[in-house]
Structure 1
Amino acid sequence: MTSDDPRVIGALWGVDDAALFGSQLRDALREQGVRRLQINMSDDAVGAAMRIGHYAEPIEAVVFCDGGAASNIVESLCTVASDVAAWEAEVRKPLDPDLPTGVRVDALSNVAFLRRPAELEYAQWRRRWLDEHTQVAIDTQSTFGYYQNIVVKPLTDNAIGVDAVVEELFPMAAIGDLHAFYGSGGDKALLQQRLAAMMASVGRMGADRDLDLVPTSRYDFPLGE
């Protein structure tokens, strides 16, 4: 499933938590034509989850805005964080469950920033990711929400080099239990089989390096038409 809405994604540092979750930001985005705001916060609820960092400082929050003008959205995000990297993206939704709004989703939401390796042409990398890796990821993990954001263009200078942003939803138990992460139900052989298949697929598309993996708590805010 592909959304027709333009999407702006922002990685945030130096976040003012109260302003990020405050009504003033939502009102400003609504006036700019944003129909949906999603905030993914790297907080204590997911503090024990695995994190991988490529940027000099850990990403504190990731914001997804559907609809609206990109330049205005970036301006608004800069009012709630001291540093923002932003992208325009096309979103695909292989797994898109109904989720509650206005509250924390009961899940570990892993947000990964992917960079295409130099040895792969863009078309080859995209094919390996979207056409080959997608089903492997769904088959080998306990993922119940899966969103693929294909970067159309960077919107800020510090956003150059990121080719995709992926979000995967896992049960909270996955934070400390590999069987819960890979859906292997305590079967050690199945766990090893799924882990090996996943790592091989990740390696083929170059997502085993130059990666930012940000564990987050997700909040959804519909802003209306």
Structure 2
Amino acid sequence: MEKVVAALWVPPGETREAYGARLLETLPQALVSAGASRVRLNIRDATVAPGEALVQQWQAPQQAAVAQFWMPSANARFRGEVDVALAAHSAWFAAWLVCESEIIPNTAHPCSANVSPGKQLGEIPERTWGWSQASFISFRPDLSREAAIAHWHSHHTRVAIETQANFEYVQNLIVRPLTENAPAYSAFVEECFPINALSEPEAFFDAVGNPAKFKANLDAMMDSCHAFLDFTRNDIIPTSQFDFAQRLRPSGLT
């Protein structure tokens, strides 16, 4: 199985809110019908609007949503129907093959807990508790890929765990682009936080009521990020996470 991450751009004239709602209604089933599985959508919606100050932007316009899913093979000859589904749900899209590393699994607020017992298979699940920071990141050009990955995995991962209030942390190293003209990111990272971390830096850095801890955590994070990231080529957006892994089946809704 191979994992694919796709960034989606909103069509001209469609509001971000309307676009997100349309994606939730029809894209997951379209992807599953095309051969994908374990679909997850990250949507920029009104719930995460208080986190606009956290946005880092390289692409203009910036992506409005992210689709994550798995396929038996992401090779082009087997991906045709998936690409058609993504194209039908975006002004344009970019996709990458990634290698996933689940650093902190979401056991505190699992997605399965967000599905009410009365809901039917195929219905839109409730959004995951809190919010998800969806980060398309690029390594510093003056570092070799090997050196950047070594810092990310051997040092930065520990810093991210120890200095933040993240309850889910997934690293996706980009193996190769799957679409022409895809932005040259190095990785895609998803981290979930409590909702107040959207607008309260102390909550983001797990230091509410502790100024000294907040400064220490912030400084450690910034020092580590600057050691391997190119801040001019990152797209980082706050999103609502919707996980359809247990909601859809290849045969359709039942």
Counterparts in 2 of 1:207 and 1:106: CA distance versus 1, 3 Å: farther
Match of 2:25? 22
What is the CA–CA distance in structure 2 between the aligned matches of 1:75 and 1:131, rounded to whole Å?
Answer: 39
Contact 2:159-2:224 at 8 Å conserved across structures: yes
Counterparts in 2 of 1:17 and 1:185: CA distance versus 1, 3 Å: closer
What is the CA–CA distance in structure 1 between the aligned matches of 2:44 and 2:72, rounded to whole Å?
Answer: 25
Residue 198 (structure 2) pairs with residue 163 (structure 1): no
Give the AA of the match of 2:86: L
Residue 98 (structure 2) pairs with residue 89 (structure 1): yes
- Calculate the aligned-residue CA RMSD, in Å: 1.7
Q: Identity rate of aligned residues, in percent? A: 30
TM-score for both structures, normalised by structure 1? 0.91
Match of 1:56? 60
Counterparts in 2 of 1:180 and 1:8: CA distance versus 1, 3 Å: same
Give the AA of the match of 2:37: R
**Superposed displacement of residue 69, structure 1:** 4.5
What is the CA–CA distance in structure 2 between the aligned matches of 1:76 and 1:64, rounded to whole Å?
Answer: 13
Could you say which structure has the higher strand fraction?
A: 1
**Superposed displacement of residue 26, structure 1:** 3.1
Q: Please give the residue correspondences for 1:57-72 in structure 2 after superposition, counting only pairs within 5 Å.
A: 57-70=61-74, 71-72=79-80
Give the AA of the match of 2:99: E
**Superposed displacement of residue 210, structure 1:** 1.8
Match of 2:87? 78
What is the CA–CA distance in structure 1 between the aligned matches of 2:21 and 2:244, rounded to whole Å?
Answer: 15
- Tell which structure's C-alpha radius of gyration is larger: 2
What is the CA–CA distance in structure 2 between the aligned matches of 1:89 and 1:9, rounded to whole Å?
Answer: 7
Contact 2:152-2:228 at 8 Å conserved across structures: yes
Match of 2:2? 6
Contact 1:141-1:181 at 8 Å conserved across structures: yes
Query: Hey, which bits of structure 1, 4+ residues long, moved more than 6 A?
Result: none
Q: 1:44 aligns with which of 33, 37, 46?
A: 46
- Which deviates the most, 172-181 or 63-72? 63-72
Match of 1:147? 170
TM-score for both structures, normalised by structure 2? 0.81
Structure 1 unaligned segments of length 5 or more: list them. none
Match of 1:196? 219
Structure 2 unaligned segments of length 5 or more: list them. 12-18, 116-124
What is the CA–CA distance in structure 2 between the aligned matches of 1:175 and 1:28, rounded to whole Å?
Answer: 31
